[in-house]
Structure 1
Amino acid sequence: MTDWGLLDPGAADTTGTDDDAVLGAMVEVERALLRAWGSELDEFLDAQADALEAASLDRAALIEGVAHDAVPVVTLVPALRAQLVAAGLLADRLHLGATSQDVVDTALMLVARDAMHGTRAALVEAGSHLAALAEAERRSPRIARSIARHAEASTLGVLAAGWLDGVASALETVDALAFPVQFGGAVGTGTAADAAAGRPGAADAVRAGLAAELGLADPGRAWHAERTPVLAVASAAAAVVAALGRIAGDVTLLSREEFGEVRLAGGGGSSAMPHKRNPVDAVAITAAAVESPGLLQIVASAALAGDERSAGRWHAEWSSSRRILRLARSASTAATRLLAGLEFDRDRAARILAHAGPAGERPDRGVLDAASDRIVDRAVARFAALSERQSRP
């Protein structure tokens, strides 16, 4: 039985990261490789590329192939070759000069690119809600808390601006990513591609053509055993989840009845207590934030690859790197819902501040307002500048 989300609130958004998406990406890599070879060899291979499709592939056979060969491509390539033969097309250029790792790594970079682009869009939407909250509450005082105790006066706007800074930092991290194509043949030297083209350096040209076809970056090299591109993507996903996890933790605390500084729209039910409305989006984000560091640790451990294709470490990357992408996308999707329905109770915040006692140090109101204005303005301006950028391949 395939998992289908029964006990997985932290990774509810599987868009673009499920097995069908990965299979579709692998087929897209083979299509793009045919077109790149068409340019290199001055041959018309678009018909072959167009004939490849993922929908009719035998999933059970692919699963058996993974169990037998530890990679899906060994079974995939003959299945795609059979599609070409059935269409009356020559199949000799399929997978030319490539190895399994070229297809898997490149396909997973396609999945990562699309997942992180979706995550970025959700972060921008979530940040827009936070910017509006920060602007609206810049003069609404509250008691700030330090080490779980009352500290000194601040504002709800400053609180929202701090959350917004986390979203902006996550955007910066995502925008710094490159999603590189992988093409180097059996051991990364590209000799099979050079031999097929009859000239040295053909592998570089095919790699560049493949990158252009897929909209990925051309790294100018093969990175078979140098796994920092995968680690960078996983680290960025973990940074997204951490930034949103901080917001979820604050919201969960401040929406408690004994605090009441935050009000949430809707909420989930309880099987035993019908009166409850649980902060389900904050719960889902927190679940993702608890899980993602462990996944990042696995990806970082797998980066100790060894050889030109590591035994087991590379394989451990696949599910962990894909899972952390799913958590980032799911958390950002949940954050847009959470923040769209979030309101501050400024009266409740003011009453808590008024009863804070000696611990609630109160600076001059004019000084506090000026500081709040400065913090909110900077956070909003930084987010606005980042949200208008276009992330690169």
Structure 2
Amino acid sequence: MTAGDWGLLQPTTAGTRDAAGDDQVLAAMVRVEAALLRAWAAVDDEGDGGAARLLDSVAADPTALDRDALVAGVARDGVAVVALVGLLRQRLDRAGLPAARLHAGATSQDVLDTALMQVARATFAQVRVRLVAAGTALAVLADAERDSPRVGHTLGRNAAPTTLGVQIAGWLDGISSAVAAVDGTRFPVQLGGAVGTGEQADRAAGRPGTIEALRATLAAELGLDDPGRSWHTERTPVLAVATAASTVTAALGRVGRDLVMGSREGVDELGLAGGGASSAMPHKRNPVGPVAMSAAALQAPGLLSTVARAAVSVDERPAGEWHAEWSALRDLLRLAGGSADAAARTVSGLTVHRDAAARNLRSADVGPADAVTLAACRRVADAAIARFQHTLGGERP
């Protein structure tokens, strides 16, 4: 197997910890199989003979699995789970551990859907940390600059006086919305068997209702939500994750665009730490973080559209729609994670140039800034900062 993509053409994720890489997805799939063994042991009221612990060790180092066999399996079967179950069964057989319950009652979509929900949950946990870091820094900066006058722009033209604090408060509002979207996302387990009825699990246990107990136990094992159903072709859970990821990129993309505009030569209201080099112009320092945030926001809508189209599914298991989700969903998660990382790094080094903002306001000749001060204070303190604190559940920024 080749090394796969590792960030050569994606500045948003290059150099960051990728929670949605192939190894992370593979590890999550193995964790699903291990958790399913434990769920069976709990439902059957007997131990799993150490089989789940062996799979735990495989999940801890998924690179030990035969990648060539997995890639061949994807080409042969259309999904890696079939080959993965074979490889895991071989591991258990060699160790002399019982493998009868491996993958019992599950289908490939159960394993991959559940694995991707684990990956999404892990990515969103990282995203939230970085959003809070960026929001915390912006709240402090907005409060400090609430009275610092600048010229506001509408439709690309000078409009009316405002303040730097109000502009920054607008960015903070976007981050609050992004945090709320992340916090409101649910990550359900998937377990329905071949056609979503759970009949195989009931038959394996020899009693009806096994699938419900198995699904609930599997969800508890993995820390996911129990939806009380299968959702093989009812794809709103995936669409919700994709929408939240796109919300993050949109909110941060807006910040990125403003940072590029405000830090341009001749405007100079914002100062960015560091900067990327130019291959042709050694004097340049490009705003790499804001550019990456903007690029992520521009890519996300197309990916979200793919997930939304794939949600128009068919039958008990779809032919192609489900498969179309995989890369689009994972790329959205990567973009959200990389954009949040870029935002946290960029905002931590952001400086404000009050003199330049005041100069630009005078040059714009749009009227005195005195009248806007009181309204700006309310906008910053009573609205944006208070909302951010409320979004964090009362935490102080």
TM-score (norm 1): 0.96
Match of 2:201 among 172, 193, 196: 193
Per-residue displacement from partner, 1:276-311 (whole Å, max 9, x unpaired)? 110000111111111111100111111111111111
Paired-residue identity, %: 56
Between 1:48-57 and 1:6-15, the stretch displaced more is 6-15
Q: Does 1:111 align with 2:119?
A: yes
Cross-structure match for 1:162: 170
Q: Distance in 1 between matches of 2:284 and 2:262?
A: 16
Query: Could you give the per-residue CA deviations for residues 129-169 of structure 1, whole angstroms, max 9, x where no partner exists?
Result: 11011011011011100111111110000000000000000
Tell me by how many angstroms 1:361 deviates.
3.3
Aligned CA distance change for structure 1 residues 157 and 246 (closer, same or farther; 3 Å):
same
SS of the residue aligned with 2:271? strand
* Aligned twin of 2:109: 101
Matched, 1:385 2:385: no
Matches within 5 A, 1:144-155: 144-155=152-163
In structure 2, give the amino acid aligned to 1:124. Answer: V
1:299 pairs with 294, 307, 314, which one? 307
- 1:389 deviation in Å? 7.3
Residue 370 (structure 1) aligned with residue 370 (structure 2): no
**In 1, Cα distance between the equivalents of 2:5 and 2:113?**
24
Distance 1:14 1:307, change over 3 A: farther
Are 2:271 and 2:351, in contact at CA under 8 Å, matched by a contact in 1? yes
Match among 223, 236, 258 for residue 215 of structure 1: 223
Structure 2 Cα separation of the partners of residues 241 and 99 of structure 1: 33
AA at the equivalent of 2:11:
P
CA contact under 8 A between 2:49 and 2:97: conserved in structure 1?
A: no
1:5 corresponds to which residue?
7
Whichever residue aligns with residue 379 of structure 2, its letter is I
Q: Is 1:333 matched up with 2:338? A: no
CA distance in 2, matches of 1:3, 1:330: 15
Q: What residue number does 1:39 align with?
A: 42
Match of 2:133 in 1: 125
> Is the Cα–Cα contact under 8 Å of residues 134 and 347 in structure 2 kept in the other structure?
yes
Q: CA deviation at 1:14?
A: 4.9
Alignment correspondent of 1:350: 358
AA partner of residue 386 (structure 2):
A
SS at match of 2:50: helix
Ranges in structure 2 where 5+ consecutive residues have no aligned partner:
none
Alignment partner for residue 18 of structure 2, among 12, 15, 20?
15
For residues 180 and 249 of structure 1, do their structure 2 counterparts lie closer, same or farther at Cα, with a shift above 3 Å needed?
A: same
Matched residue SS, 1:11: coil
Q: Secondary structure at the match of 1:355?
A: helix
Is the CA contact 1:35–1:46 (under 8 Å) kept in the aligned structure 2? no
Whether contact under 8 Å (1:170, 1:240) holds in the other structure is yes
Q: Would you say the 8 A contact 1:151–1:361 is kept in 2?
A: no
Contact 1:263 1:343 in 2 (8 A): yes
1:318 CA drift (Å): 0.4
Q: Which amino acid aligns with 1:36?
A: A
Return the letter of the residue paired with 1:368.
V
Task: Write out the 4+ residue segments of structure 1 that deviate beyond 6 Å after TM superposition.
Answer: none
Structure 1 letter corresponding to 2:385: V
User: How far does residue 46 in structure 1 lie from its aligned partner after superposition?
Assistant: 5.8
By how many angstroms is 1:200 displaced?
Answer: 1.1
Q: Within 1, Cα distance between the matches of 2:75 and 2:25?
A: 17
Partner of 1:279: 287
CA shift, 1:312, in A, is 1.0
**CA contact 2:49–2:98 (8 Å) conserved in 1:** no
Counterpart residue number, 1:361: 367
Give the 3-state SS of the residue equivalent to 2:18 in structure 1.
coil
Consecutive unaligned residues of structure 1, counting only runs of 5 or more, are none
Inter-partner Cα distance in structure 2 for 1:175 and 1:204: 26
Structure 2 distance, partners of 1:16, 1:266, is: 26
Separation (CA, whole Å) in 2 of partners of 1:98 and 1:179: 18
Asked if the contact 2:245–2:332 (Cα under 8 Å) also holds between the matched residues in 1, the reply is yes
1:27-66 aligned within 5 A: 27-45=30-48, 47-52=50-55, 53=58, 54-66=62-74
Does structure 2 retain, via aligned residues, the 8 Å contact 1:138–1:158?
yes
CA distance in 1, matches of 2:46, 2:38: 9
Superposition RMSD on alpha carbons, in Å? 1.2
CA distance in 1: counterparts of 2:250 and 2:354, whole angstroms: 27
Which residue identity lines up with residue 368 of structure 2 in the other structure?
A: R
- Name the TM-score, length of structure 2 as normaliser: 0.95
Q: Which amino acid aligns with 2:37?
A: L
* Secondary structure in 1 matching 2:151: strand
Provide the C-alpha distance between the structure 1 equivalents of 2:49 and 2:363, rounded to a whole number of angstroms. Answer: 73
CA distance in 2, matches of 1:79, 1:170: 40
For 1:50, the aligned partner's letter is: R
Contact between 2:131 and 2:175, CA under 8 Å: does it hold in 1?
yes
AA in 1 matched with 2:25: V
Q: Which has the higher contact order (CA 8 A, sep 6+)?
A: 1
- For residues 314-364 of structure 1, the C-alpha deviation after alignment (integer angstroms, 9 at most, x for no partner) is 11100110000000000000001110111111010001111212xx1336x
Q: Distance in 2 between matches of 1:311 and 1:258?
A: 55
Deviation (angstroms), 1:15? 1.8
Amino acid at match of 1:162: G
